[in-house]
Structure 1
Amino acid sequence: MIAIRFDRFGGPEVLTVVDVPRPRPRPGEVLITVEAAGVNFADIHQVDGSYLDAGALPHIPGSEVVGRTEDGRRVLARVSHGYAQQAVAKESALTEIPEDLDAGAALALLVQGLTAWHLLRTAARIRAGETVVVHSAAGGVGTLAVQLARQFGAGRVWAQASTPGKRRLALDLGADAAVGYPLAERADVILDAVGGELFDSALDSLAPGGRLVSYGNSARTGFTPVDPARLGRLNAAVVGFWLRPTLAAPGAFTGPLRELLSLTAHGSLKPVVHPAYPLAEARRAHEDLVARRTVGKVVLRP
């Protein structure tokens, strides 16, 4: 079986194509023949050692796949080693999906879709009529957050993206404007995955009672210290968000994912999927994701 593995920490260059034995499911697990595997920033952190220690090496990354079980079901699944032709998942980690749903679109709804849903509903607690700003609006989370903010009743949705093409994409997805900083008007909710100077600028752009939700640090410049007195003067809040503990709460996974799948089936939500990379080109997929050369969901196809 072909898989992508790394034996030491580093950049994308440590990812190599290897031939490994087919995984064997244990009781309560199923074997999945992979149709597509999702690529996430968490995979990049695993490769550079941010998420794993040396005792976990060698390691096959990948936390999500679409594929088919041995009894013929087409499923979206949470896994531990998805960059491979086959993967094992717990039966409880499977969600059956329709045959006509694009694999990339389905993968977009798992990590990125649930992140966008919970950023708006759980972390920001969006209210009808509020102004929402989405940083990295052409990315996997951003493209969905722009659309979901509108679905959840936002009065205005502003998108921030790095290139004219990405800003046009955000406008096509329903953003009212593609904006830069500093903002000309105050925003009630700002979703930030960048950190650094953009986080600091966004904090000054909050309306009274506004919420700045931080869910990443793609700038990799360290986090800006937040002075409580500054928050007091703004009458605002900074909310940190991480999907993994959020999904541990009762009802945090199945209901939101079912809603995302329903919105997609009815055409109200349109996941954006970057052209797929062959599994053997996982290194290039990582390089492009880090360099912000991708839009929407990034996937590998065996």
Structure 2
Amino acid sequence: MRAIQVTEFGGPEVLVVRDVPEPVPGPGQVLVEVEAAGVNFAETMQTRDAYVSRTTLPYIPGSEVVGRAADGRRLLGFSSTGAYAERALLDERSAAPLPDDVPAGVALALLVQGATAALVLRDSGRMAAGETVLIHAGAGGVGSLAIQLARRWGAGHIVSTGSTVQKRARILELGADEAVDSAAPDLEAALKAAAGNRRYDLVLDGVAGPAFTASLKLLNRRGRVVVYGAAGGDLSARVDPVALIGGSRTVAGFWLVDHLDEVPAAVGELLGLVAEGALTPIVGGSYALEDAPRAHEDLTGRRTEGKLVLTP
């Protein structure tokens, strides 16, 4: 079968299409023809061996799959053998049936980004109705869904950041009250003004770097910052633990891998919201398998909105 196989660490150029053996299902696994595979920022870090967990060469990137089993079932789930391929193995226990009328891109937007948005808001972030919420990178896969969910779940005032005029317009369309330029010369002042000079009860940060530093300074009493990524690439931010004591502030980390048992219920709830028309995932682009390098370039270059997919 054709697949992207990474044999050396580096940038998007290491994503090369190769002929590799088809995976053989073991107990509890099902082989599927891949209809579409999700593209995540984590995969751009894995190619550089800079992800939270170490990566062993060679490997096929990707974990999110919509595919068709030999018995005709259309399934959504995580692949143990790599998703950037024509065929992949899914764990039978966690693979969810997917109706034919749900577009693959919509479903993939809910598996990692959707579950992350929901769990960060309600579990790690403990968002309460009426709170002032800051969501960084609001036009991205997680951010675009988090804005909609925060609004639906009763946030009092939502501020979000975006790097372009187009992205900031999208953020407002999704339900944010204010959109702030993520490259503002004084980001802290811009975020403070956008909140009406209030402080933030909850911050969702998948960017890190200066965005994290500014957010931490603007936390309300008992405010929480939840860090679920570092898309900005700047890992220099530091936390003074003593400074957290006054105001009882919290800095929490979130990695979906630690919450996999909660993903099926979260995705099921989100699919219900999509069916009701209460949640609109953004599919930002579809790429052929051989165009995986361009997908990674577009993602790291911050030229995309919403969910990116590969269609082998």
Q: Report the TM range for the smaller structure's normalisation.
A: over 0.9
Moved more, 232-241 or 203-212: 232-241
Q: Distance in 2 between matches of 1:231 and 1:60?
A: 41
**One-letter amino acid matched to 1:273:** V
Alignment of 1:150-299 (within 5 A): 150-180=151-181, 181-182=187-188, 183-184=192-193, 185=197, 186-248=199-261, 252-299=262-309
Determine whether 1:98 maps to 2:108: no
Deviation at 1:44, TM superposition (A): 1.5
Q: Distance in 2 between matches of 1:243 and 1:223?
A: 23
SS in 2 for 1:67: strand
Change (3 A) 1:53 1:113: closer
**One-letter amino acid matched to 1:260:** L
Alignment of 1:47-62 (within 5 A): 47-51=47-51, 56-62=56-62
Deviation at 1:236, TM superposition (A): 1.6
Gaps of 5+ in 1: none
Q: Distance in 2 between matches of 1:45 and 1:301?
A: 21
Gaps of 5+ in 2: 182-186
TM-score for the superposition, normalised by structure 2: 0.92
After superposition, give the CA deviation of every residue in 1:10-56 in whole Å (9 maximum; x if it has no partner): 111111011122221112211100110001122112211124657x3
After superposition, give the CA deviation of every residue in 1:194-239 in whole Å (9 maximum; x if it has no partner): 1111111111111222111111112222142211222223432111
SS in 1 for 2:172: helix
Q: Distance in 2 between matches of 1:246 and 1:32?
A: 24
Q: Distance in 2 between matches of 1:299 and 1:3?
A: 15
8 Å Cα contact 2:111-2:263 kept in structure 1: no
Matched with 2:20 is 20
Q: Distance in 1 between matches of 2:263 and 2:142?
A: 16
Moved more, 17-26 or 101-110: 17-26
Q: Distance in 1 between matches of 2:78 and 2:224?
A: 30
8 Å Cα contact 1:109-1:260 kept in structure 2: yes
Matched with 1:120 is 121
After superposition, give the CA deviation of every residue in 1:214-270 in whole Å (9 maximum; x if it has no partner): 11112222142211222223432111111111224xxx1222111111001111010
**One-letter amino acid matched to 1:214:** V
TM-score for the superposition, normalised by structure 1: 0.95
Q: Distance in 1 between matches of 2:30 and 2:242?
A: 52
Q: Distance in 2 between matches of 1:228 and 1:50?
A: 26
Matched with 1:30 is 30
Q: Distance in 2 between matches of 1:91 and 1:153?
A: 36
Q: Distance in 2 between matches of 1:106 and 1:216?
A: 21
Determine whether 1:7 maps to 2:7: yes
Matched with 1:79 is 79
Q: Distance in 2 between matches of 1:16 and 1:254?
A: 32
**One-letter amino acid matched to 2:146:** A
Q: Distance in 2 between matches of 1:222 and 1:21?
A: 38
**One-letter amino acid matched to 1:123:** S
Alignment RMSD: 1.4
Q: Distance in 2 between matches of 1:105 and 1:242?
A: 22
8 Å Cα contact 1:217-1:223 kept in structure 2: no
Deviation at 1:105, TM superposition (A): 0.6
Moved more, 104-113 or 175-184: 175-184
